[in-house]
Chain A
Amino acid sequence: MSAALAALQTALLVALAPLFSGTIASLEARLQMRRGAPPWQRYADLARLFAKESILSTDASWLARVAPYLVLGASLAIATWTPVLLAGSAMSFAGDLVMTVALLALVRVLHGLAALEAGTTFGGMAASRHLALSALAEPALMLAVFTLAIGAHSTDLARISRAVALAPHGWLAPSHLLALASMWLVVLSENGRVPVDNPATHLELTMIHEGMVLDYSGRHLGLLEWAATVRQMVLFTLVANLFLPWGIALEPTRGALSAAFVAWVFKLFAFAIVVALGESLTAKLRLFRVPEFLGMAFLLALLALTSNSLLGG
């Protein structure tokens, strides 16, 4: 039963991830008075990519062919223990919040290496920027993790979710809200969203994530894009279910799970609106202003921890 539920949660994350990404793009288009592509456009994109042949640079080594599969594997591995409907997972023995952060780092390193395969300028430029920015995002993320873990006495995702859901007004504690704000900024940065990166741009000099996959095509690109949407979905689900676990099922009953599904869809749709609004209202930051943005995330996480210390959670 619990194994089936873990499989169901993973399948939901993996199958709906392109829809979530497409929804943000579609909402953004509407906000900017464009018609835009429908929310399910990403599925068509993936199907097209999987049907095309894959071309690799003559300079690329064996790693370029292996990396997309490893990136997908690591991204999906994170999805298996992410609490989606139930605050508890059959897979929580395999990974916790720290393991999640470390697997995200694995993906980042593989992306960075794959970007250097083709021997062109843009791959190196994007990898260099990506690694620099995530080095700054990491301490902020770790402090936010720290605050969460201290509140719940665990780094286990399901336990954190349960602890926050059970504490009366637990999510209203100042430390919790500050950690949420910090985590939100880090999630924007990790997913390459405005103001750190522009997912819609194809202007070589400004792009980060797109630059790293510039020399990929066909099924390899499809795998990488799919994995990226899964990671985005997982991170937003983590924000939804660790910081705002309203409606998450505490017991695996049919009614509670259905309610949890509705709550989860509602929260993610709300996030999509917030992200789309943010991306329409703000401009991308100049590269060397991003450290200040991430510094703010670090400061917020530090304040969260301090207020946790002073106010006792």
Chain B
Amino acid sequence: MPLAELDGALFAAAIWGLAAAALLPAILPASLRGALSAESRAAIARPLAITCALGLAAVGALGLAGFTPAPLRWWPGLPGDPFTLGVDALTAPFLLLLGVLAAFSLGVHSPGEGGAPATLALHVGFALALAAALAAQHALLFLLAWEGMTLLSAALVARDTRSARARRAAYVYLVISHLGAAAIGFGLMRLSAAAGSFAFPDLAVALGRLPAGESAALVSLMSAGFAVKLGLAPLHVWLPLAHPEAPAPVSALLSGAMVKAGLYGLLRFGWQMPGAPPAGWGVTLALLGLLTAMTGALYAVVESDAKRLLAFSTVKNVGVLALALGIAATLLQAGYVPLAGVALAACLYHAVGHGLAKGLAFLSVGEAAHAAGTRDLEKLGGLARRMPALSVSALMASLSLCGLPPLACFAGEWLLFQALIVGFAAGGGAMRLLAPLSGAGLALATALSAAALVKLYGIGFLGRPRSEGAARAARPKAAIAASLLALAAAGAAWGLASPLAIGALGLPITAVLGPGFEAGSLAGWGGFTLSVPPQAFASISPPAVAALIALFAGLALAWMALRGLRSGVRRAPSWACGVALDARMQYSALGFTKPLRLIFRTLLRPERELEVLEEGSPYFGRKYRYRSGVPSLVERLVFEPMVQAVFWVSTQARRLQAGSLHLYLAYLLVTLVALLFLAHP
């Protein structure tokens, strides 16, 4: 079939092209030294990388349509099978999302912000490593790609080496990621040893042959490793530290696509294995997901740094993903295959929908913050008037992330909610407790994140500029604004065509779940409505809702015009009760969510400190220093005691090292005697 061959060629070209684009700005071939300047090499590498990323997206889309390209094989000289990269049904949706996001993030990557071509090389290399991790069908290659993904992104996080915050973020990110990678690596190596091969199909067979206890333990261990990459509480602390520190286009890739690699791992090695998922896997994942969603939403609300706020919103959304996955597994174990399919469809649909919306959010907010010179919401404001095109894409991203219909993040949550209600009614042991808890928790998390995103857009883009930088912010280049609008349109299309999109995810869902559920059956009337189960329970139609809103808004406009009412508006300065209006009279980002901070103070434990610097008159003229913040509760309750324990042990261990030569000689003697005893039993 020519299309299948074309698919294979496209896949090979995209992977090798990305590799060339990553190497081109970084390594200078001797023959070209001097012939091409660093800038011109970057100028070649970027369009090449964008084209290859779009190629990857096309391969992903073809994979969803059922085409599998011929796998790429490369034998590095190691014993065993050759390294294999291939695209199967499960890889396809993730590859599609990665391709789209990588293309847009590379398109927006401004040399001015990233500085050296090295940043571009790292950026492209990171996208390549991510693609390789998703497409690897060889355990060793998978681990190498996984590690490459972590290291390259950590380098991008720590790019601003003078910033202590970035260094700390990269450090925490590396430590926690390696804990996860160690768990995954141990599991995969154990399986490879049992199978005598690195190929994924052999690993699955080997897992099936292991004793039940050991296979469950291995699957749980690997799942824990992937949950770290996904960013589930309480190991989510790296996410809000690391994601904001990278340049905005890289943050878009980190939050939009990389955390989804954790979901991919959970599906591939946690679920799509013989005998997996083990008992309790679903319930654990659902509870952790619920905890993560609420934690993320709560901290997003009180955050005043635009990019950190978005990172916490990612934490909320990965919680929703884990919740949907856990519910799907629980329902499957209870024997409700079609319902499990609904929850799984919710999970995969939301993974892509959130990726598109979050990528757009980081790119638009990043551009705005770059133009204003700060990402602190307290110093932004008034940007919508200065950069209308960018404000449209930022608003679309914010509304999508609020989970509002008919945009990209709504249909997934709707499906999950339906699965919860039917699951409760069908009545499967754990679901009786889990369903109402999840429903209420999901509603709270969604409402809180809506408050957080209103704060992001409302304080950041509306009102009056709160600083000189925001007042003088220059509008971004037309090409960048246009490409962001294109991404916004793609996100909106994903939401509007959600019935079709869910139908398109049929192959990956079947690959994970097996027969018994047809994703296409959720779409009715040729993809106009979404209903669960088909024509029985309830139905929504995002395109119809969009049409209704447009119809009524249009009627109102037409009515105004027909009655000959004035269509224009008069502009006048805002009324501030007779006082000259000042930007500081607006609500600040901190003040905007103060009610929520107070209501949830028992959970958030906000800290504040007021210091009187200078005593003046008792009524005015004093000088104060005020500091407030919401330190992470998990860090305080879980990680700080762990760090303290390590310090305590190392302090105790230091007693051994007293600096006396005689003591050290005595140690040697004791060791020697002990070894002799051991050698002669």
The residues of A with any CB-CB pair to B shorter than 8 Å are: 50-51, 53-63, 65, 69-70, 72-74, 76-77, 80, 91-99, 102-103, 105-106, 108-109, 112-113, 115-121, 123-125, 127-129, 131-139, 141-143, 146, 149-150, 153-156, 159, 215, 218-220, 223, 287-288, 291, 298, 302, 305, 309
Q: Which residues of A contact B581 (CB under 8 A)?
A: 119-120
Give the interface segment out of B13-21, B314-322, B548-556: B548-556
A105 touches B592 (CB 8 A): no
B573 touches A58 (CB 8 A): yes
Give min CB distance, A312 to chain B, whole Å.
10
A73 touches B439 (CB 8 A): no
Q: Which of B388-436 contact A (CB under 8 A)?
A: 388, 391, 395, 399, 402-405, 410, 414, 417-418, 420-422, 424-425, 432, 435-436
Give the interface segment out of B53-61, B186-194, B445-453, B614-622: B445-453
Q: How far is the CA of A218 from the CA of B565 in the complex (A)?
A: 10
B443 touches A99 (CB 8 A): no
Q: B399, B454, B552, B583: which contacts A72 (Cβ < 8 A)?
A: B552
Q: A61, A95, A97: which contacts B545 (Cβ < 8 A)?
A: A95
Q: Does B560 contact A (CB under 8 A)?
A: yes
- 3 pairs of A and B residues whose beta carbons are closest in the complex: A124-B587, A142-B443, A61-B384
Q: How far is the CA of A121 from the CA of B575 in the complex (A)?
A: 10
Q: Which residues of A contact B94 (CB under 8 A)?
A: none
Quick one: given A59-B463, A305-B436, are A121 and B560 in contact (CB under 8 Å)? no
Q: Which residues of A contact B446 (CB under 8 A)?
A: 105, 138
A288 touches B569 (CB 8 A): no
A139 touches B441 (CB 8 A): yes
Give the interface segment out of B97-105, B149-157, B536-544: B536-544
Give min CB distance, B662 to chain A, whole Å.
68
Q: Which residues of A contact B545 (CB under 8 A)?
A: 77, 94-95, 99, 103
Q: Which residues of B contact A139 (CB under 8 A)?
A: 440-441, 443-444, 447
Q: Which residues of A contact B575 (CB under 8 A)?
A: 120, 215
B384 touches A77 (CB 8 A): no
A120 touches B574 (CB 8 A): yes
A57 touches B569 (CB 8 A): no
Q: Does B646 contact A (CB under 8 A)?
A: no
Q: Which residues of A contact B540 (CB under 8 A)?
A: 93-96, 98-99
The binding surface of chain B is classed by DSSP as helix
Closest to B583 in A: A119
Closest to A295 in B: B599
By the criterion of a CB under 8 Å from any partner CB, how many residues of chain B are at the interface?
88
Give min CB distance, B391 to chain A, whole Å.
7
Known: A54-B569, A128-B587. 6 other contacts (CB 8 A): A59-B463, A95-B545, A99-B545, A149-B421, A153-B422, A288-B599
A96 touches B538 (CB 8 A): yes
Give min CB distance, B320 to chain A, whole Å.
14
A80 touches B548 (CB 8 A): yes
Give min CB distance, A154 to chain B, whole Å.
5
Q: Which residues of A contact B539 (CB under 8 A)?
A: 92-94, 96, 156
A119 touches B421 (CB 8 A): no
17 contacts between A and B (CB under 8 A): A54-B566, A58-B572, A58-B574, A62-B388, A73-B551, A93-B529, A94-B539, A105-B402, A113-B395, A116-B586, A125-B587, A138-B447, A142-B440, A154-B537, A155-B417, A155-B538, A218-B569
